[in-house]
A and B are shown apart, each in its own frame.
Chain A
Amino acid sequence: MASTACFVIVSKNDIPIYEAEVGSAPKQKEDLAYQHQFILHAALDVVQDLAWTTNAMFLKSVDRFNDLVVSVYVTAGHTRFMLLHDSRSEDGIKSFFQEVHELYIKIFLNPLYLPGSRITSSHFDTKVRALARKYL
């Protein structure tokens, strides 16, 4: 498992609807967690261009800052799964994204879920963290 990883789902309106620090490293300072999100936010610019150049959903690593790499997965509805990580196992990340995508679709199918709003399901959270342990 990667020592540092930050997973964020960004809605098509560029609003983060799910955030999770999934790294195995001990709880970092708040500042660092913010820094991770700042990097992910900045990577949106690159994703925005890159997403239209390929028809693959998994965009691999699109951006980096220092040792941290941003991998992105774009769903058909232009929801972006963004993972900031320091490990290089691309296959694991791809599987992680695919599984999360399934979970996300389940959330999306919930008639009570307003598309584009924050995902507050604790079940989803647990599942995502389990997947992170499994693949990253």
Chain B
Amino acid sequence: MEPGLSIESGSAIRVAVLPVGGPIPPPRLREYASLVARHARVDLASLRTYYAEHQKSPFAHQPWETGCLRLKFVLGGCVPSPWEDFQSSRKVLAVIGICHLPSSSDLDRVAADFVDAARSYPSALANRCFAFCPTDAQLAGKKRDDIIMLPPSDQQSLELHMLTMIQDLAASLLMEFEKWVLRAESTGTILKTPLDSQSSLGSEEVIKAKKRRLGRAQKIIGDYCLLAGSPVDANAHYTTAIELARLTGDVFWHAGALEGSVCALVVDRMGQSDPVLEDEVKYRYYTIIQLYRRATLQDNAQRVSPVSFELEAALKLARYLCRRELAKEVSDLLMGAADGAKALIDASDRLILYIEIARLFGALGYKRKAAFFSRQVAQLYLQQDNAYAAMSAMQVLTMTTNAYHVQSRKTSKMNHDSFKEHRASNTDSGKVHPQSIVSLFESQWSTLQMVVLREILMSSIRAADPLSSWSAAARLLRSFYPLITPAGQSGLASSLANSADKLPTGTRCADPCLPFIRLHSFPLHPSQRDIVKRNPHKKEWWTGAGPSGPFIYTPFSKAGASGTSKQEVSWIVGEPVQVMVELANPCSFDLVVESIYLSVHSGNFDAFPVSVRLPPNTSKLVLLSGIPTQVGQILIPGCIVHCFGVITEHLFKEVDCLLLGAAQGLVLSDPFRCCGSSKFKSVNFPSISVVPPLPLLVANVVGGDGSILLYEGEIRDVLITLTNAGTVPVEEANIALSGKNQDSVISIAHSTWKSALPIKPGGEVTFAVTLKAWHLSSADLEADGNRSPANSRRIAREGINPFLDIHYAGPAANPENGHVSLPPGRRLVVPLNICVVQGMRLVRARLLSMEIPARFTQAHLRPVSDKDGISTGNDTEPTDTNLLKIDPYKGSWGLRLLELELFNPTDVVFDVDVAVNLDDTDVDQKVISEVNAADAACHKTRIDRDYSARVLIPLENFKLPVLDASFFVKESGSDEPLGSRAAAIAERNAKAELNASINNLISKIKVKWYSGRNSSGELNIKDAIQAALQASIMDILLPDPLTFSFKLALNRAVTNVDSSKDSGNLFSHSNDGNVAHTGNVLRCKDPISAHEMTHMEVQIRNNTKEIIRMNLSISCKDVAGQNCFDENSATVLWAGILSEIHLEVPPLQEVAHPFSMYFLVPGDYSLQASSVIIDATDVLRARAKAESPDEPILCRGSPFHIRVIGTA
């Protein structure tokens, strides 16, 4: 059988093209052969010049204007067929030698070679030997007839030259055909086929053969007519031959003649598609097939079977009919032909048959059928045991891969591109349509795919093509690992390694192997996350760029921004970026990925390779990094992997599709899930654009980036260093606060960093941020309590820290066409990792109202009260109970202390300071007392760990300067229900004022603590104080209606009240408003000498807004508490009025009452003034908390201590 037969092939002149002389380099040979082969059709019209009619041509109807000769060039020649007498087109009618002269210098040898080669084709009617690329010497040499030299020239002239040569050849062939036909017509020839050879013995057969000879001769003449391009003549001869063959019962030749006639018909009507013609051809060919079959049956006994002619006829018809509409008929014909394969004895015949069937099915569009027969071909090739056959098998199998959907990515590149576009349009719309995913996995017949790949692998190993075998093994392993046993997987791995050994290093293969790689996430580098588009219309360009407000979605945000689900990422030239990918090795062997890096086709990215080792059945997350190098778009379709010795590109999309297919149950297994990885989630690759370099600020908290450990209420300065790590200066910046606990940042040194702008690349600025630790809530404390005491340091919790939002930007780009383009700005978020630990704890705050006895005896007290005849209103107890009785005289002096009980649960020592800011003067006066002592020199209270301490704060100095009726509005309101609106407003105002003054009071008290060298802070005690003071706030705030003070007059002339302060400070004076008193007991600083007249005066100040009339009395008591102004005692002499002094003090003014004393006995004395207010107003009564309106109101000043020295 012969390949490539068609109905028209009967009209083609077979020309053998043989390389002669020395070896010709394959590309040269291919070039020369194609030069020859392009002239497969030679028009008769063009032959005129070369054609000389020697006798009258037997081809009477030759169409000189339209006809042509068809040449069929067979490179390398062919084995002479035993059937060449039967069909002249099988004969080699001409021989062309091709010689490459540079490789064979001896022209004589070339000529001899060519003669030798041509000798094996005895049927050849014309020979030509073409020699290419002659040297000048060869050209100059004697012109030879047997070798035609084609001088080196350009392609065009070479082609022209060759055309001439071929036309000459064709003309001489035509003349030979004429000669042959004339001879055959006159003499007749003996024509035999292998069918006849054995049966030539019998006489009967000889007679039969004689009869048949004429018919056979007519058939052959017809053949030559066809070859000579004269179908009409041929048809006439064929008709005669058919008649004769039918008469003689020469079935085989009958069929042959019929075939020839169809060929003549088709050639004559070449280019016309005519249903009538088609029916005619079909009809005649079915007859031909029948006849051949009959001939086969007839000659069944013989060894040589003409069955191949039957099959050839079927193939020819199939090829003629091969159209989509006639698919059924054609496939029936081809299936019939395929059935005939069994009858073919020669394996190569079967090979050709299958090849032809496969080609025809392919032409019909039956890809799977074609693939099936191609595979049959490959199997036949594989039965031959040589490398060339294996190579052919591999190539044939490679052609089938499309039908079985196991094609290498290299060959499917074209499809892939269109598919990619399809995908791209899909992804743009947001999601992949499930239907398109299904279509990806269409026709995945895994059993067959595996077999085909395995056969490709086998044949490529046999054909010694390591790249193909690597690719096949890779495809097999990647696609079908779940169907391959662990042993098989290891086998594939080793064949991969073996193939790689034979390949040069750095070989690339289009087909990826393991591992499976998918995009896991896009861990944005903090610097990337902070690129903020600048709003050119706003000064605060960062606003509006990010989501504002607490809502995830706001309807006011830009419609365009919310519409696209695809996020956009900006990368910056020169700043490293990272992409997280997940690798999976679902196979049972250790996978060593020598290197893996991101594959970027846009060429503006430097990727950094990493190497990974994946144990069996594992997956791993790998961070791949790189640096963008140029401005532009970056597309990362996948990764480049160097594994098993070959470099491959793994596309993310493919794995995504695979995983989607697995989710739909279309693919065998999900490589990631079988490695125990998490569920598949599709990661959209954001569109990445690379922007020009931006400044890059890096923030450092001086002293380490760990959390700042602060005790509750601690105030500390934190230094933050900003360094510009970019290549562009920072020209503008803004620092704002965000996050929780913003009030813990007290101040930011804005001026410091502002003065450092612009920050040049590499420059840095350090500024301070003052922090104040917040207070832990009770829940925090409980959580703290659950911890082991050893680990009392808390871990800073997420989300409770304030952030510094630093927006900064580089310079605007160079103005182009008057339009300034703003590069994006950036945001740096500096978390202030504050870890608040529990500091000193306020256990309790309470108000202590206490009385300092001032060394008065009980006995001494009594007569005073008795004498005054006053029944103390509040005191239900008799006055003689004890000295520490609180407030024996209503409204008189009393000592109120705020006691704070502090506990130190930490493991450090705290020093506590209480500062009282009086009014606005900011004069810190430390009035702190230790637990009991009242030593002003020792300011600090030290509290050791796990100890508690009490701190006392005197509350004397908070009194308001004026005792006003407004404070009692509420009470008065309740007494007499006015109900008027004005009163209500007044009441409200008063209340607000009161509250303000209470807050003012509380804020004046600050408890500061120090610990270690640099920890200091404030205790938050406001609430506690407020609670403690709630009950008796009035008593603390409101001044007594009258204040008394004693003053030592140096001489009688000095009466100026204020001069005491200026002139020597002999006495401290109380209730001056601005100056607090240093002790609870007033004392005269300098001792007074005995036996000397001492001039003194008592000053009474009215703190109300009304005139107060009163009866003043002054008493003096010695250490024993005896009244010294008694008539009986002789320790003190006095001058002036000391009791029942009637005084009238104008509002807010002072009145002084002078007196003199003469101490007889040295010692300690106390002076005390007291007065009974006459006609007390409601205000005074309310202040004194009098119960009945008749009750006398009594005021008493603080005792005044005098030390008298001298000798008795």
**Interface positions of A (Cβ within 8 A of B):** 13-16, 19, 34, 37-39, 41-46, 49-50, 63-66, 114, 116-118
Q: A13-B438, A14-B443, A45-B367 are in contact. Are A114 and B665 (CB under 8 A)?
A: yes
Q: Knowing A15-B443, A114-B665, say if A38 contacts B448 (CB, 8 Å).
A: yes
A15 adjacent to B369 (CB under 8 Å): no
Residues of A with C-beta under 8 A to B768? none
Quick one: which of B327, B366, B375, B444 contacts A15, CB cutoff 8 A? B444
Chain A CB within 8 A of B445 CB: yes
Q: Tell me which of A46, A114, A118 has the highest count of chain B C-beta atoms within 10 A of its own C-beta.
A: A46
Q: Smallest CB–CB gap between B333 and chain A, Å?
A: 13
B interface residue numbers (CB < 8 A to A): 327-328, 331, 335, 338-339, 342, 361, 366-369, 371-373, 375, 404, 438-439, 441-448, 451, 664-666
Which A residues lie within 8 Å of B371 (CB)?
A: 42
Residues of B close to A46: CB separation below 8 A? 331, 366, 369
Residue of B nearest to A36 (CB): B447
Which residue, B338, B439, B445, has most C-beta atoms of chain A within 10 A? B445
Q: With contacts A19-B447, A41-B368, A49-B328 known, what are 17 further pairs, Cβ within 8 A?
A: A13-B442, A15-B445, A16-B446, A37-B445, A37-B447, A38-B448, A41-B372, A43-B368, A44-B368, A45-B361, A45-B368, A50-B328, A63-B335, A64-B335, A65-B338, A65-B372, A116-B438
Q: List 8 A-B contacts (CB under 8 A).
A: A13-B441, A15-B442, A16-B447, A38-B372, A42-B366, A65-B335, A65-B372, A66-B342
The one of B448, B451, B664 in contact with A114, judged by C-beta atoms closer than 8 angstroms, is B664
Minimal Cβ-Cβ distance residue in B for A19: B447
Say yes or no: A116 contacts B665, CB within 8 Å. Answer: yes
Contact of A116 among B328, B375, B447, B666 (CB under 8 A): B666
Given contacts A13-B439, A14-B442, A45-B366, contact A117 B665 (CB under 8 A): yes
Q: A42, A44, A65 — which one has the most chain B CB atoms within 10 A of its CB? A: A42
Query: Which of A43, A65, A117 has its CB near the most chain B CB atoms (within 10 A)?
Result: A65
Are A34 and B445 neighbours in the complex by a CB distance under 8 Å? no
B183 to chain A, nearest CB (A): 49
A117 and B668 CA atoms in complex are apart in Å by 10
Q: How far is the CB of A116 from chain B (nearest CB, A)?
A: 7
In the A-B complex, the 9 residue pairs with the smallest Cβ-Cβ separation, listed nearest first, are: A117-B665, A42-B372, A14-B443, A45-B366, A114-B665, A13-B442, A45-B368, A34-B451, A42-B369
Shortest CB–CB separation between residue A128 and chain B, in angstroms? 17
Give the residue of B327, B331, B438, B448 whose beta carbon is less than 8 angstroms from that of A41: B448
* Complexed CA–CA distance, A69 and B1063 (Å): 135
Interchain CA distance A38-B379 in the complex, whole Å: 13
Q: Once the chains are docked, how many angstroms separate the CA of A118 from the CA of B338? A: 33
**A45, B335: Cα distance in complex, Å:** 13
Task: Return chain B residues, CB-CB under 8 Å to A16.
Answer: 445-447
- Complex CA distance for A43 and B869, rounded to whole angstroms: 132
B443 pairs with A13, CB closer than 8 A: yes
Of the candidates A42, A66, A117, A118, which one forms a contact with B368 in the assembled complex, judged by CB atoms under 8 Å apart?
A: A42
A40, B425: Cα distance in complex, Å: 36
Which residues from chain B contact A63 at a C-beta distance below 8 Å?
335
A66 to B372, CA, bound (A): 13
- Judge whether A45 and B369 touch: CB under 8 Å: yes
Q: How far is the CB of A42 from chain B (nearest CB, A)?
A: 3
Kindly state the separation between the CA atoms of A71 and B342 in the bound complex, as whole angstroms: 22
Residue numbers in A under 8 Å from B372 (CB-CB): 38-39, 41-42, 65
Q: Give A60 to B464 CA distance when docked, in angstroms.
A: 45
Question: Which residues of B are found within 8 Å of A34, using beta-carbon distances?
Answer: 447-448, 451
Residues of A within 8 A of B441 (CB): 13, 15
Query: Whole-angstrom distance from the CB of A56 to the nearest CB of chain B?
Result: 16
Are B447 and A66 interface neighbours, CB within 8 A? no
Q: Would A118 and B665 count as touching, CB distance under 8 A?
A: yes
B353 to chain A, nearest CB (A): 13
CA gap between A42 and B373 in the complex, in Å: 9
- Report the minimal beta-carbon distance from B214 to chain A, rounded to whole angstroms: 43
- Rounded to whole Å, the gap between the CB of B446 and the closest CB of chain A is 8
Q: How far is the CA of A127 from the CA of B442 in the complex (A)?
A: 27
Residues of A within 8 Å of B373, CB to CB, are 42
- Asked if B448 and A37 sit within 8 Å, CB to CB, the answer is yes
- B488 CB to closest chain A CB (Å) equals 13
Distance in angstroms between the alpha carbons of A38 and B451 in the assembled complex = 10
Distance (Å) between the CB of B642 and the closest chain A CB? 34
Q: CA of A65 to CA of B335 in the docked complex: distance in angstroms? A: 8
Do the beta carbons of A116 and B369 come within 8 Å of each other? no
Residues of chain A lying within 8 A (CB to CB) of residue B666:
13, 15, 116-117
Give B356 Cβ to nearest chain A Cβ, in Å. 16
Name the A residues within 8 Å of B664 (CB-CB): 114, 116-117
B357 smallest CB distance to A (angstroms): 11
Kindly list chain B residues whose C-beta atoms are within 8 Å of the C-beta of A15.
441-445, 666
Closest to A113 in B: B665
Whether B445 and A14, one on each chain, are in contact in the complex, defined by CB atoms closer than 8 angstroms, is: yes
Report if A49-B439 is in contact (Cβ < 8 Å); known contacts: A15-B444, A65-B338: no
- With CB as the reference atom, state the residue of chain B lying closest to A49: B327
Closest to A64 in B: B335
Contacts of B368 in A (CB 8 A): 41-45
Task: Across the interface, name the chain B residue whose C-beta is closest to A45.
Answer: B366
CA of A43 to CA of B368 in the docked complex: distance in angstroms?
Answer: 8
Q: B447: which A residues are within 8 A, CB to CB?
A: 16, 19, 34, 37
Closest CB of chain A to B683's CB: distance in Å? 24
Q: Report B-chain residues with C-beta under 8 Å of the C-beta of A13.
A: 438-439, 441-443, 666
Contacts of A50 in B (CB 8 A): 328
* B446 to chain A: closest residue by CB: A16
Of all chain A residues, the one with the shortest Cβ separation from B450 is A34
Instruction: List the B side residues contacting A49 at CB < 8 Å.
Output: 327-328
Residues on the A chain within 8 Å of B327, using CB: 49
Q: How far is the CA of A49 from the CA of B814 in the complex (A)?
A: 67
CA–CA, A119 and B445, complex, Å: 14
**Complexed CA–CA distance, A136 and B375 (Å):** 29
A102 to nearest B CB, angstroms? 22
